[in-house]
Structure formats: structure tokens, C-alpha cells
Amino acid sequence: MKKFFAVIIFFVTVLSADCDSPKNFERTEILMGTVVTLKAEGKNSRAALDESFLALFELEKKISADVKKIEDAAGNGAFVKISSDVYEILTAAQKFSALTDGAFDVTIGAAVELWGIGTENPRVPTADELIAVKNFVGHEHLHLRGGEAYLDRRGVKINLGGVGKGYGVDVARKIFVAHGVTSGLIDFGTSTIFAVGKKKIGIKNPRAEEISGVVELEDCALSTSGDYEKFFIADGRRYHHIIDPKTCAPAEAENFSVSVIVGGREKNCATLADILSTTAFVLGKERTEKFLTENKIAAKIFSAP
């Protein structure tokens, strides 16, 4: 009986979607530890969503398989072949590690694990543990060449939490473009977003369950990094998930959250926005704006509060 109703509900849902607005589609899935919602309007929008999710589930698998492969081979002297997607992510990450003197660093993995932020057992490490973990963090340990990667020290861990979602947004964005979608939204848990066409996006108040402002985006990516997504409180202090690689402790940020907007004409704009919001949270708005100007990278930064 239950099955029967489920089938009816399924058909009613499909029919109503088809009758009411045949060209507007929306689908939500859990991916990369976040709620991903894709919306598309117009011809081919359903195909664009389906194809995007297929590609994103594939991407998620590639990321975990390649990260494991690289970590397993760490220190053994041999480069390992990885997918072109993960190679591209790591190449972008390494570029910004170099430009930011290591403020953005995907080899932050061991420090992220030590703090356990976002897990059921977060804790403040001892001073000795913090000194020890620094030996296993540093972008200079990650080497890339011709589609292959190598970590030159065993125990160094890759964490793509600060860039993978942005790359995922870019993957979906390219599929939207291929299908001619001109209006829609690619939303990775409001952390990194791409607005296809004109869209109004609410910015979350980092200290309350409310929207603190609205930005209007048109064909551009928006990424926000803050101390409110993943954190724990110990001895009255808030310990959040964005780590300063210099100290291997949560960054002493100037703001509760920082947002970055990058225009859609910029190659892999969402990847860039994702990297830059994490970076700007660690470095602060002014230092980030300075390095962006010096390197002729067009991005707009704003913070709350």
C-alpha cells in the first residue's frame, strides 16, 4: 500500500512540475558535506540539473580517491597519477598558497584533524601537539607535475574543504552553460554560490538565525567564510574551522565572516571565490585586497560585521 502511494506521489510530483512550469527545475542533494541546491529555468534545465549532479557525485568520488592515493604514497618518492579535476583543484590551491605566503594551504589536513572541529569530539590541542603538527603542514611538501602529485613527507594530509565546493560550483556552471541555461542558481550550502542571470542572495548574520543583508548578483560567484559554520566553545572561547597555517590554530580573524564576489568572466570564478574567502578570513580584508591588486585579480570583498 505504502509503495502504491509512493508511486502516486511520484507521478503527481512529476506531472505538477511538468504542468505548472515545465521549464523550472530545482533539486537538492547532500554533497561534499553540504546541502547542494541547483535551480535552472528554461529549455534543457532538467537535463542541466541531472547532468550536473552526476558530475558532482563523480567529482566527490574522485576527490576522496585521489586524496587517499596521494596520502598513501606520501614520502615514498613516487608521484601518483590523479584525475584532471583534482589536479586542477590542487594547481589553483598551490598558486594561491604561493601568492599568500601560505595563508591558504590545502596541506592543512593534519591540523584540521588535530582540532577535530566539525567532528563529534573537537578539542583544544596541547602546546606540544601544536608544535608537532606544524611538521606536517606546509604547501612546500606538495609537488605537482604533468597530471601527477606527490607529498614529500609521510603524515602530511590534504584537506580540500576550502576549495572543493567552489570547484564543484564551477563544474555545474560549465554544464549549465553547455545546456544554454541563462537563469538559475548553483548553491553549495550558501557557502559558495553562482548566480546564473540576476539573483538576490541573502547574507547570513554570523551571530543570529537571520539574514543581515542582501546582495544582487549577476553571472558571478559569491563565497563566504566564517567562524560560525563549524566551531566549538571551550573555556568561553570560540574555536572555528579556518586554521592559520602559521600557528595551526583557528585564525585570529578581524571579522565573523568574509565574503568574496568574483565575476563569471574570470576562469573558474567560483573556485577562485572559494579560495579567496578562506584566504581573506585568515589574512584580513586589507591584506587580501592588497595582494589582489598586486596580482591584478578582480574580486570584491566585504565582511560582516
Supply the minimum distance, in Å, between the C-beta of residue 166 and Mg ion.
6
Judged by CB under 5 A, the stretch of 77-85, 96-104, 202-210, 274-282 that binds Mg ion is 274-282
Reading the block at residue 264, the C-alpha cell is: 563569471
| Residue 250 binds ligand ADP (CB under 6 A) | no
Instruction: Verify binding: residue 271, Mg ion, rule CB under 5 A.
Output: no
Q: By CB under 6 A, is residue 168 in contact with ligand ADP?
A: no
Give the residue among 83, 191, 193 at the shortest CA–CA distance from 147: 83
Tell me the closest approach of the beta carbon of residue 180 to ligand ADP, in angstroms: 29
Residue 179 near which of ligand ADP, Mg ion, none (CB within 5-8 Å, type-dependent) = none
CB of 165 to ligand ADP, least distance (A): 6
Nearer to Mg ion, 45 or 225 (CB): 225
CA atoms within 13 A on the CB side of 152: 7
Residue from 52, 107, 278, 288 binding Mg ion (CB under 5 A)? 278
From Mg ion, ligand ADP, none, interface partner of 106 (C-beta below 5 to 8 A by class) = ligand ADP
Q: How far is the CB of 171 from ligand ADP (least distance, A)?
A: 16
Nearest by Cα to 202 from 185, 190, 194, 192: 190
> Is the Cβ–Cβ distance between 190 and 78 less than 8 Å?
no
Instruction: Name the H helices within 213-304.
Output: 269-283, 285-294
Helix (H) / strand (E) containing 295: none
Q: How many CA atoms lie within 13 A of 173 on its CB side?
A: 27
Asked if 94 interacts with ligand ADP (CB under 6 A), we say: no
| 106 sits near ligand ADP (criterion: CB under 6 A) | yes
Nearer to ligand ADP, 77 or 121 (CB): 121
| Residue nearest ligand ADP, CB atom distance | 161
- The whole-angstrom separation of Cα 48 and Cα 44 is 6
- Compute the 3-state secondary structure of the chain and give helix, strand, coil in percent, each to the nearest 5: 40, 30, 30
DSSP state, 139?
A: G
- Given the C-alpha cell 584525475, which residue does it identify? 83
Size of the site for ligand ADP (CB under 6 A): 21
Question: Is 227 a residue that touches Mg ion (CB under 5 A)?
Answer: no
